[in-house]
Amino acid sequence: MLENNIKKLIENLKNNLSTISNLDEMDGLWKKYFGNKGSIKLILKEIKDLSSENKKIIAPLIQQHYKNALDLFKNRENLLKTDKLCKNLESQSEDLDYFTPKIGHLHPISRTIREMNNLFVSMGFSIMDGPEIEKDEYCFQRLNVPLDHPARDMQDTIYIKEPDYLLRTQTSSIEARTLANYKPPFKIVSPGRVYRNETVNKSNHFIFHHYQGLVVVEKTSLKDLFGTFNVLFQKMYGQDVVVRYRNKYYPEVEPGVGPDMQCFNCHGKGCSLCKGVGWIEMGGAGIVHPNVMKKAGIDTKKWMGFAFGLGLDRWVMAKYKITDIRTLLGGNLGYKYYENENII
Ligand SMILES: [Zn+2]
């Protein structure tokens, strides 16, 4: 008797499942059949009223029918979920949350890149990308560093195939590619991984990150560059951040400057992180050298620009009070991070 009843209910369930078209309706169906007062669940509860002889025979059969009914339900539910996922992907909707575990957080490097990207996009910049295995031409020659230039000694390059292919030592290569392929005016930023043959220690790594910026317009000056830096420093570290600028030499700019930020670890007193000077170099910048523009076929009488390259890892370390660069690429992920930052 019980077995016939459950078989009938399973037939009804099959009919109901075939007409259902969304996950909300599945909830109702679950309550109807499998909830505490659901009809299939009630049959399970009736097993206990059977005589012990009948129980031995009937109970396993009912359990098997119950399992089959559950499988029918779950299969239909999975189909509807996949269907919803496909529709969301097709519509470019970002509502894919129901398969995402709610644990963990983005790596501090990713968070910092996204935070900077958001700021620069709000100021009208576009985000550009470029290859990590780069040609010598884009990493050096187009940036005013010919083959025999002494500036090459400043960077210990890792070559893939000498002399033409290397792992980029700086994201200025994206600057060179942008200048070669786009007509001014433009404002771009490009975050990326860079490589140099450095000994790994507390403040150096052979893999690190740059954040490049390039603005090419009809008229600009160092004032615009400093203004951009001031907005960036204050956004990242607050209004009280202490920054100084120094003259610097980089072949791709003239004049060249570099921002230093007061050391976050010792607040200017001097410590091992800032090598006793109280300041941390945060990047290099300057007015784009006319040779760089000319190599890209850009008329220097009409256009001029400024460029900057930030040592992104240092920005991340200062933001998250990380005192050893190796932490960023290591396995210990116990960083401090700001729960309330709304960065996605
Ligand atoms: Zn210090």
Q: Give me ligand 1 centre to Cα 205, in Å.
A: 19
- How open is the CA angle 182-300-176, to the nearest 5 degrees? 40
Query: Token pair 């509807």 is at which residue?
Result: 80
Same domain, 64 and 178: no
Q: What is the DSSP letter of 202?
A: S
Instruction: Quote the pLDDT of residue 334.
Output: 59
Same domain, 48 and 170: no
Same domain, 138 and 236: yes
Instruction: Quote the pLDDT of residue 324.
Output: 87
Among 99, 131, 149, the domain boundary falls at 99
Going by C-alpha positions, the residue among 231, 236, 253 that lies closest to residue 309 is 253
Among 67, 99, 131, the domain boundary falls at 99
Collapsing DSSP to helix, strand or coil, 288 comes out as strand
Residues whose CB falls within 8 Å of the CB of residue 78, separated by 6 or more in sequence, listed in order = none
Instruction: Quote the pLDDT of residue 97.
Output: 56
CATH number at residue 179: 3.30.930.10
Q: Give me ligand 1 centre to Cα 318, in Å.
A: 11
Q: Give me ligand 1 centre to Cα 228, in Å.
A: 25
Q: Give me ligand 1 centre to Cα 26, in Å.
A: 61
Q: Give me ligand 1 centre to Cα 73, in Å.
A: 63
Instruction: Quote the pLDDT of residue 48.
Output: 83
Tell me how far CA of residue 66 lies from CA of 47, 136, 282, in angstroms.
12, 68, 66
Structural domain including 85 reads 2-99
Same domain, 69 and 7: yes
Same domain, 41 and 114: no
Same domain, 9 and 115: no
Same domain, 126 and 235: yes
Q: Give me ligand 1 centre to Cα 92, in Å.
A: 47
What distance in Å separates the CA atoms of residue 149 and residue 141, rounded to the nearest whole number?
Answer: 9
Q: Give me ligand 1 centre to Cα 198, in Å.
A: 21
Tell me how far CA of residue 119 lies from CA of 192, 232, 258, in angstroms.
17, 8, 20
Instruction: Quote the pLDDT of residue 102.
Output: 55
In a domain, 339, yes or no: no
Q: Give me ligand 1 centre to Cα 278, in Å.
A: 5
Q: Give me ligand 1 centre to Cα 195, in Å.
A: 25
Instruction: Report the b/e string of 51-67 with b at 16+ CB within 10 A.
Output: eeeeeeebeeebeebbe
In a domain, 216, yes or no: yes
Q: Give me ligand 1 centre to Cα 262, in Å.
A: 8
Same domain, 114 and 255: yes
In a domain, 48, yes or no: yes
**Tens of each residue's pLDDT in the chain, 344 residues:** 778 888 888 899 999 998 888 888 888 889 999 988 888 888 888 888 888 888 888 888 888 888 889 899 988 888 888 888 777 777 765 555 555 555 667 889 999 999 999 999 999 999 999 999 999 999 999 999 988 887 777 668 999 998 899 999 999 999 999 999 999 999 999 999 999 998 998 888 999 999 999 999 999 999 999 999 999 999 999 999 999 999 999 999 999 999 999 998 899 999 988 889 999 999 999 999 999 999 999 999 999 999 999 999 999 999 988 888 988 888 766 555 444 444 43
Tokens of 77: 């539910």
Among 75, 99, 123, the domain boundary falls at 99
Same domain, 141 and 281: yes
Q: Give me ligand 1 centre to Cα 28, in Å.
A: 63
Q: Give me ligand 1 centre to Cα 312, in Å.
A: 18
In a domain, 276, yes or no: yes
Q: Give me ligand 1 centre to Cα 267, in Å.
A: 6
Q: Give me ligand 1 centre to Cα 280, in Å.
A: 8
In a domain, 158, yes or no: yes
In a domain, 61, yes or no: yes
In a domain, 338, yes or no: no
- Give start and end residues of each alpha helix (H) in the chain: 2-19, 23-33, 39-46, 52-90, 108-122, 136-139, 172-181, 222-237, 290-295, 312-320, 326-329
Same domain, 281 and 178: yes
Q: What is the DSSP letter of 273?
A: T
Same domain, 90 and 167: no
In a domain, 25, yes or no: yes
- Asked whether the beta carbons of 292 and 142 are under 8 A apart, the reply is yes
Instruction: Quote the pLDDT of residue 343.
Output: 42
Q: What are phi and psi of 168, to 5 degrees?
A: -55, 140
Tell me how far CA of residue 161 lies from CA of 88, 155, 157, 167, 339, in angstroms.
44, 17, 11, 10, 45
Q: Give me ligand 1 centre to Cα 153, in Å.
A: 27
| Residue 326 neighbours by CB distance under 10 Å | 14
Q: Give me ligand 1 centre to Cα 310, in Å.
A: 19
Q: Give me ligand 1 centre to Cα 87, in Å.
A: 53
Instruction: Report the b/e string of 96-118 with b at 16+ CB within 10 A.
Output: eeeeeeeeeeeebbebbbebbbe
Same domain, 117 and 94: no
Near ion ligand 1, which residues have CB within 5 Å? 263, 265-266, 271, 273-274
| Structural domains counted in the chain | 2
